[in-house]
Amino acid sequence: MVELELTDFDADQRLLAMSGVSLVIFTSVGCAGCRFAREQLPSLDLTVDRLCWIDAGSNGGVVERYQVFHLPALFVVRDGEFFGVLQSRLTGTELNEAVDRALKRTAEELP
């Protein structure tokens, strides 16, 4: 699985330019759930093309635009369109179901 690190400086441009499905994950080094996500998500058989990691502690602008209130926070972007937040446990089956539900929603512009 492709993994990318995004920042305030490049997140919007890269997400708009990428084709396919991106799972955007906001994390922080001090968050136990975030460490679990970092460890587990790359090894899961997810129906996404890439994982896009954003360090919430170092990228306040994108955190504000996405209105991140808790960590880890997961969002779906497909072909530059925003499909919103995912509410899911961090298991392969539940994440894949949540991604599928998200992609059935009406797309919006990136925050």
Task: Parse the chain into domains and list their residue ranges.
Answer: 2-103
- pLDDT profile of the chain (111 residues), mean per 10: 97 97 97 97 98 98 96 98 96 98 96 93
Record the tokens describing residue 52, joined without a space.
Answer: 């896009």
* Edge-first strand listing for the sheet containing 73-78: 2-6, 50-55, 21-27, 73-78, 81-86
pLDDT of the residue at 85: 97
Cα–Cα distance measured from residue 7 to residue 108, given in angstroms and rounded to the nearest whole number: 21
Say whether pTM exceeds 0.95. yes
Average pLDDT of the residues of the chain: 97
* 2-103 has CATH 3.10.20.30 classification: no
Contacts of 22 (CB under 8 A, 6+ apart): 15, 48, 49, 50, 51, 52, 76, 77, 78
